[in-house]
Amino acid sequence: MTRAETDSLAEVLTLDRIETNIFRGWSWHTAPTRVFGGHVAAQALIAAGQTVAADRPVHSLHAYFLLPGDPAAPIIYEVDPIRDGRSFTTRRVVAIQHGKAIFNMSASFHHTAEGLEHQAAMPVMPPLPPPGDTAAPSDDVFPDGPGVEPFFRRYLDVLPIASSAPDGSVQPPVVSHLGDPHAPHQRRWFRARGPLPDDPLYHACAVTYASDLHLITTTVLPHRTPEGPRISLASLDHAMWFHRPFRADEWLLYIQDSPSAYGERGFTRGEIYTADGRLVVSVAQEGLMRQRP
């Protein structure tokens, strides 16, 4: 059983409900060998969210990528409704293919209430105005070869922009793993291509999809050479915190940095801001970065 390919991220997030807590998802335009990690994470989150009351938006998720996903096979999402409290709801999701778990997620949902508020300001050095209505697609590639851009170009508008180095200098966008070493910082504007439903769950899932956008490649930037390092990258674990409401079909600024790499593992952080400077999502990820002979 197969699905027709789609240009709509909203359709990617539309799962078949085959039992009360069991869902089936599909892959489109994925790499030849594995499903994009953000794709699995986004579908797992929407499966969990469909078992939670609408007045409890997601506020955090913690996930592990266990095995590469098979893009030719459907993905089964089993949701465990482990807790329904007075203010918080917790769900555990396992993604399964060929009888094996390929992904595991815990997600927490909260009935939002008024409370104390503060946030870090959007970095303004250098000034980064939002792009226009038309974004040039990114031409980045993973260090282990091309082939991932269809994930992004089909469902997201992405615009890489100049980054500021720790010394305050402005560096051009990184468009390849080849070249001189670069500070482990990247900045991009992104949005879902096409409108999304008003349901906040779809917008959280769209940002979850995009949150894996080049995040682990930030760890490679200090190790670039003109010949290009032979490095295999794979996401290991992924965490997100959703701070404030937002729309993912409007421009969002994704700021990424990598403070550490050691023992074949690279650690990256991300902050996502709206165009008017509201910090809406924080991201953390550790990934495998293994040098090839």
Residues tagged active-site:
212, 235, 285
Give the tokens for residue 207: 């940002």
CA distance 16 to 267: 34
CA distance 159 to 138: 6
| Closest residue by Cα to residue 196 from 4, 37, 11, 5 | 11
- The alpha-carbon radius of gyration of the chain (Å, integer) is 18
CA distance 218 to 50: 33
CA distance 57 to 200: 7
* Contact between residue 209 and residue 155 where contact means Cβ atoms under 8 Å apart: yes
Q: How many CB atoms lie within 10 A of CB 177?
A: 23
* Contact between residue 256 and residue 187 where contact means Cβ atoms under 8 Å apart: yes
